[in-house]
Amino acid sequence: MHDFTRRSLLQGGTALAAAGALTGPALFDFAKAWAQSAPWKAEKGAKLTVMRWKRFVPAEDDAFNAMVAAFKAATGTEMNVFSESFEDVQPKASVAANTGSGLDLAWGLHTLPQLFPTQVLQMNDVADYLGKKYGGWTDAAAVTCKQGNNWLGIPVATIGGYMTYRKSSVEKAGFKDFPKDFPGFLEMCKALKKNNTPAGFPLGHASGDANAWLHWILWGHGAYTVDKDNKVIINSPETVKALEYCKALSDTFIPGVASWNDSSNNKAFLAGELHCTANGISIYVAAKDDPNKKELTEDTYHALWPVGPIGKPTELQLCVPILAFKFTKYPNAAKAFVAFMLEKENYDKWLSGARGYLTHTLNAYDNSPVWTADPKNQVFSQASKRALPASGIGTPGEKAATAIADFLVVDMFANYCTGREDAKGAIAVTERQLKRIYR
């Protein structure tokens, strides 16, 4: 748990100052003024326990901690914040929901509020307040958090993943610009392999990266696991086409992708062995922070995911919503904190701290400084707008989350691409498992 000492605050402030953000006394002044006029007044003696996912970019954590400290000082709310790895957030939040104690707020992955809709505090007023003030919510973010007309949580941000590539290698492969459609992308990957500067995308159990790019291939061909009524429709000609395209693509990859986890492509790219992959901005940030990787940093660029035969973006981006539990003794403090997090004075500096790792879900932040501070960040600003919810065209919720967590789509593609199953067999296994989940 964090204990906000003067030292930790100063450290946080230093990091934020580097990002040119509202820090130190100014931040506290703003927080005090905000608390005076905010629609939600924290209960007297309020104490909030907050669980969040463990940060990947240290400066983001600093910004978050500074914001928490300012809220604490302005409202008198005691704040206990602790971090858990992505995989642990969901089980721990579920246990809290089940036992009715332990946590007031949980900040986790895309489907978290949908897992226990009867246990969460409805955030309609907070969503309304923020939406009106900041230009409305992006579609995918709203769909992820809403059940009917009710907001089960607030979509704080999206962790965007995009094409990360070496510009010199792509140009050498004969492409002045990064391809914008599937055929062009396949041709580029073939040429990259020919030049011994291969692309590579994980076909292993990489929770974030493997699910992201394989759902993109699937959806890009117009294939989905379930339809809008949650009927399993994976067994379709479109899925076969997606498998065939993926097989052709995987033949161009650097060897070893079937064993990759979420960190493998980062390592390979930074080592100079991989020349195109899909990832969050963390590869670029790590290269920028390493004085020995100046050349690699300059040569690294980002691009949007190419668009598939269906002619529109089909990206799976990771929304990270926050929810408050219904049993919290301090619902006003909880709502106030969530609203405070997304106020411009906080949110802009937070995005700056995340250096492009987090993408806004409120339209007014389209022009946040982080997206113009470095032109290579700009692509990531579109993550929340181009994303489909994790369920594709189906209903977001526990079932969609289970299908993703159990790597059903990943295994289907991996089975086919590695030759373990033919298309019919790979689809049949996946279809059976999906029917089990959506029964």
Partner 1 sequence: MADVALQPRTAKRQIREATAWDQLRTNRNWLGFWFMLPAMAFLIFFLAYPLGLGVWISFTDAKIGRPGEYIGIENYEWLWGDSIFWLSVFNTLLYTFIASAIKFAIGLYLALLLNENMPFKAMLRALVLIPFIVPTVLSALAFWWIFDSQFSIISWSLKQIGLITENINFLGDVTWARICVIFANIWRGVPFVAITLLAGLQTVQPSLYEAATLDGASKWEMFRFITYPLLTPIIAVVMTFSVLFTFTDFQLIWAMTRGGPVNATHLMATLSYQRAIIAGQLGEGAAISSAMIPFLLAAIMVSWFGLQRRKWQQGENND
**Contact positions vs partner 1 (CB under 8 A):** 87, 90-91, 93-95, 97-98, 115-116, 203-205, 254-261, 264, 267-268, 271, 273-274, 398, 401-402, 405-407, 411, 414-415, 418, 420, 429, 432-433, 436-437
By CB neighbour count within 10 A (0-12 exposed, 13-18 middle, 19+ buried), where does 429 fall? Answer: middle
* Cβ-contact 130, 157 below 8 angstroms: no
As given in the structure block, the two tokens for residue 388 are 């489909």
| Residues 6 or more apart whose Cβ sits within 8 Å of residue 336 | 35, 38, 40, 41, 42, 71, 75, 77
Which lies closer to partner 1 via its Cβ, residue 39 or residue 91? 91
Q: Which is nearer to partner 1, 277 or 361 (CB)?
A: 277
By C-beta, is 74 or 410 nearer to partner 1?
Answer: 410
Which two three-digit tokens encode residue 335? 């709502």
Of 100 and 174, nearer to partner 1 (C-beta) is 100
- Least distance from C-beta 181 to partner 1, angstroms? 29
Q: How far is the CB of 109 from partner 1 (least distance, A)?
A: 12
Least distance between partner 1 and beta carbon 407 (Å): 8
Phi, psi angle pair for 195, to nearest 5°:
-85, 5
Where are the strands (E) in 85-230, listed by range?
105-107, 146-147, 150-151, 154-159, 162-166
Residue 130 CB, nearest approach to partner 1 (Å) = 28
- Rounded distance between C-alpha atoms, residue 341 and residue 278, angstroms: 29
Dist. CA 201–CA 191, nearest whole Å: 16
Residues 123/154, Cβ–Cβ less than 8 Å? yes
Between 129 and 213, CB nearer to partner 1: 213
CB of 245 to partner 1, least distance (A): 19
Minimum distance from CB of 206 to partner 1 (Å)? Answer: 9
Backbone angles phi, psi at 201, to 5 degrees: -130, 135
Of residues 294 and 436, the one with the C-beta less far from partner 1: 436
Shortest distance, CB of residue 353 to partner 1, whole angstroms? Answer: 29
End-to-end distance of the chain based on CA atoms, in angstroms? 40
Our CB check for partner 1 shows the closer of 180 and 194 to be 194
CB of 150 to partner 1, least distance (A): 20
Q: Cα separation of 432 and 234, whole Å?
A: 10
User: Closer CB to partner 1, residue 261 or residue 332?
Assistant: 261
What contacts 399, CB < 8 A, 6 or more positions away?
A: 230, 391, 437, 438
